[in-house]
Amino acid sequence: MRTRFTGVGTALITPFLRGGAVDEAAVRRLARRQIDAGVHFLVPCGTTGETPTLSAVERRRVVEIVVDEAAGKVPVVAGAGGYDTSEVVHAAIEMQKAGADGLLSVTPYYNKPTPEGLFQHFTAVADATPLPIILYNVPGRTGCNIDPATCARLATIPTVIAVKEASGNIQQMVEVCAAVPEDFLVLSGDDALTLPLMAVGGRGLISVASNEIPAELSQMVEAAERGDFAAARRIHTRVLPLLLGNFIESNPGPVKFAMAAMGLCEDVFRLPMVSPRKASQDKLLAILKELELPVVAAART
């Protein structure tokens, strides 16, 4: 069960139409593009999907579309997190009904639970659904960190199978790999730190940049998985400007702008997210050209 969630999982953007509605045709098209490029699983309705601005109905619909497009070819891990445990339990059940194969559940944010609160929160979510759960640790956004000891304790919950480690703290990531059981998956939540993490036991990543370059990141992680770090480093070095460029402003502003420039979606966000400022747009366009990725002139807004 756990190896279904190794490799590259793409944290899908949510495309919107100019009027602000979810672009369902684009959701389907982007999911298909990922599958055709060889990614290993899909992650709709995470941070990169602007999920806080989606209604519960929209979140379920996006997951249903991605599940339908995946058609069993790759697993679908649906975002289901928040700061109210009862609401997260409800969201988890809804994602199960939508056909998701697993859940990505961010730590409760703003209210800053203790380690005991985290354990009880995720126990409640696990009790509500049989779906495998990937913890999402991103303290820079949530103000709540899963330390290595707490991660090891959470790993004792039978259906908690993995953590997306996006602390940006390589020492903590190393300690997590050492603390958790051997079959517990540690996935990178930072594209640029994927190879260092895999060198000490990580099993892949949940990626922002694979929205733009799914084949390249899949090849990089597959090379690392088979121990060919020289080949993995060559890809990493070539695409590193994009891995970093996607975070010159708050995610998903840069990645969504870049994808619009590539002709893959509209450059439309829901407030409070907005398109990157002009200087950042120029940097991103230069990176796309450097990587010889297609740029649609009409998308340069």
- Contact of 298 with 260, CB cutoff 8 Å: no
Query: Model confidence at 116, in pLDDT bands (50, 70, 90)?
Result: very high
What's the predicted TM-score (pTM) here?
0.96
pLDDT at 192: 98
In this predicted structure, the answer to whether residue 297 has a pLDDT above a threshold of 90 is no
Per-residue pLDDT of 125-168, as tens digits, reads 999 999 999 999 999 999 999 999 999 999 999 999 999 999 99
pLDDT digits (tens, 9 = 90+) for 181-190: 999 999 999 9
Catalytic residue from among 164, 256, 278, 283? 164
Model pLDDT for residues 166-179, shown as the tens digit of each residue = 999 999 999 999 99
- The whole-number pLDDT of residue 1 equals 61
Length of the chain: 301
Degrees to nearest 5, angle at CA 16 with 12 and 20: 145
Residue type (1 letter), 52? P
Q: Which stretches within the chain are classed as H helix?
A: 24-37, 56-70, 85-97, 115-128, 139-142, 148-154, 170-179, 194-199, 214-225, 229-245, 253-261, 278-290
Token representation of residue 78: 């649906």
Which residue of the set 109, 136, 278, 283 is catalytic? 136
Structure tokens at 188: 């990178």
CA 250 to chain centre: 14
Active site residue 97: no
Provide the token pair at 258.
């870049």
Is 278 an annotated catalytic residue? no
For the chain, report the end-to-end CA distance as a whole number of angstroms: 44
Place of tokens 């070095």: 237
Contact present, 39 and 10 (Cβ < 8 Å): yes
The predicted structure's pLDDT at residue 3:
72
Mean pLDDT of all residues in 262-267: 97
pLDDT tens digits for range 194-248: 999 999 999 999 999 999 999 999 999 999 999 999 999 999 999 999 999 999 9
Indicate the domain borders of the chain.
2-221
CATH code that applies to domain 2-221: 3.20.20.70
- Read off the DSSP letter of residue 188: E
Show the CA angle centred on residue 94, arms to residues 138 and 251, nearest 5°. 30
- Sequence-separated contacts (24+) of 109-115 with Cβ below 8 Å: 109/82, 109/83, 109/141, 109/142, 109/143, 109/144, 110/83, 110/142, 110/143, 111/83, 112/143, 112/144, 113/144, 115/147, 115/149, 115/150, 115/153
Q: Which residues of 179-199 are buried (b: 16+ CB within 10 A; e: fewer)?
A: bbeeebbbbbbbbbbbbebbe
